[in-house]
Amino acid sequence: MIINGAGGCYENRYYELDVNSAWNMVLQTLNDMGVQVDEWSQEEHLVKFHNVKKIMQVLVRDMGNETVEIAMDSRGKHLLAYCWHKENKEVEMFFDFFEEHLHAFSAYVICPTCGRKISSFASQCPDCGQKILQRR
């Protein structure tokens, strides 16, 4: 769901991912965006941050069964009455960066025996021969 208007934008998306991996990708995404983090809570999986024009926050919520909801809210410093044009630049940027991290995350797995990064399509580790469970 995406809601635009009054100088801001809200969007939430769902991903098949564990909450800790999602939280780490959110923090990497904020680094990519070059924003200033104002406050964050590891326990609540909530970060409040800003750039020159917008005040933003993102929440990672565990939905169970290795599914998370990621909600991103962006607004100007002042609400704009009667303004319903798109204000989703920062929200789109956030989800674009996040989904790049998600793609990179799913492109490889770590061998549980030797720790080597290997293709997520491999059936066994080329170094130690450990069978790899597929995440599909």
**Mean pLDDT, range 7-23, rounded to an integer:** 91
- Output the six-digit token pair for 127: 């170094």
| Strand blocks (E) in 21-115 | 36-41, 46-50, 54-64, 67-76, 108-110
Confidence of residue 126 (pLDDT cuts 50, 70, 90): confident
For 48-86, write each residue's pLDDT tens digit.
999 998 999 999 999 999 899 999 999 987 666 666 667
Q: What is the pTM of this model?
A: 0.74
Please answer whether residues 13 and 70 qualify as being in contact, where contact means their C-beta atoms are separated by less than 8 angstroms: yes
Nearest to 6 by CA among 104, 69, 63, 86: 86
Nearest to 66 by CA among 10, 16, 136: 16
Degrees (nearest 5) of the Cα angle 115, 116, 117?
120
Alpha carbon of 56 to those of 14, 18, 111: distances in Å? 19, 23, 37
pLDDT number for residue 7: 74
Degrees (nearest 5) of the Cα angle 74, 7, 98?
25
DSSP state of 35: P
Residue-averaged pLDDT of the chain: 87
Distance separating alpha carbons of residues 29 and 74, to the nearest angstrom: 15
Provide the percentage of residues in the chain whose pLDDT is more than 70: 91
